[in-house]
Amino acid sequence: MKNLLLASTSTLHGEDYLAYLLETLEDFFKDIDTITFIPYARPGGISHDEYTALVAKAFGTIGKKVVGLHTYEDVAKGISDAKAFFTGGGNTFLLVKQLHELELMDVLKNKILAGTPYFGTSAGSNIAGINMQTTNDMPIVYPPSFKTLGLVPFNINAHYLDPDLKSNHNGETRETRIKEFHCFNTTPVVGLREGSFIHIKGKNSTLKGAFKARIFEQNKTPYEGINLHF
């Protein structure tokens, strides 16, 4: 039975890394002592080692050990041996490129579907969807495919921002971009606001945190919701 925790962001403004999620993570990983961290999204271009150290410091406050997947000589075995996963945020294009080139996408998916707990933030949440085509990230690299894990029957738009009617910004809103996506794709999109996260256990999906999600379906008016059963 799949057990997923998918958050829009790792860090709320003015808080330490993962601080707002630590109580939830302590319960989510209550039977786990070691978490395998997938550092490939590399926010700000930091190294895999630097990223893993940041994560280890946060998880250390709730008594959990972290091992970076990049430290395994055989990364597929690292996936196979994992007791739980965390994939952090950064650049979704880079993350997806690495997972495809290392031939880990299906290996990781099968391990998660077998019941291994999976936690993702931002890019790490994006890859739980059908594809990465609703990411906000800049295409700094070219992945072999936009296909992702397909653990849920929708895409996530992490860091979703509502239109600011007082802004002088003339660029497209997130809602406009997702509407463009739905000109060519039928996949539902969940706009996940900062401070909100989804817990998926088996067939049950529960939206938690401070805000409802903004739900987008092809040929429908966007709506506020907590029901993620498509």
pLDDT tens digits, 108-122:
999 999 999 999 999
Could you tell me if 137 and 177 are in contact, meaning their C-beta atoms sit under 8 angstroms apart?
no
**Is the pLDDT assigned to residue 225 strictly greater than 90?**
no
Return the H-helix or E-strand segment holding 121: strand 118-121
**Is the pLDDT assigned to residue 228 strictly greater than 80?**
no
Q: Catalytic pick from 8, 10, 122, 196?
A: 122
10 catalytic residue (yes or no) = no
Return the H-helix or E-strand segment holding 208: strand 204-209
The burial class, CB within 10 Å (0-12 / 13-18 / 19+), for 168 is exposed
Averaged over 210-222, what is the pLDDT?
A: 95
Q: Catalytic pick from 8, 137, 199, 205?
A: 137
What mean pLDDT is reported for the chain? 95
**Is the pLDDT assigned to residue 6 strictly greater than 80?**
yes
pTM score:
0.96
159 catalytic residue (yes or no) = yes
What the block records as the tokens of 5 is 């925790």
Amino acid in position 109: K
Averaged over 183-212, what is the pLDDT?
A: 94
**Is the pLDDT assigned to residue 12 strictly greater than 90?**
yes
**Is the pLDDT assigned to residue 160 strictly greater than 70?**
yes
What the block records as the tokens of 67 is 């091992």
Residue 230 binned pLDDT confidence (cut-offs 50, 70, 90)? low
Residue 200 binned pLDDT confidence (cut-offs 50, 70, 90)? very high
122 catalytic residue (yes or no) = yes
- In sequence order, the 6+-apart residues with CB closer than 8 A to the CB of 127 are 87, 92, 95, 96, 99, 120, 148, 149
* C-alpha pair distances (Å), 76 with each of 102, 107, 120, 202, 218: 8, 7, 19, 25, 37
In whole angstroms, give the CA distance from residue 23 to residue 3: 17
What the block records as the tokens of 216 is 């987008």
| % of the chain residues with pLDDT over 90 | 90
Angle between helices 92-101 and 105-113 (to 10 degrees): 90
Domains of the chain with CATH codes = 3-154+192-211 (3.40.50.880)
Could you tell me if 210 and 196 are in contact, meaning their C-beta atoms sit under 8 angstroms apart?
yes
Averaged over 207-212, what is the pLDDT?
A: 92
Averaged over 187-216, what is the pLDDT?
A: 94
pLDDT at 194: 96
Q: Catalytic pick from 70, 159, 182, 199?
A: 159
In whole angstroms, give the CA distance from residue 217 to residue 190: 9
pLDDT at 166: 78
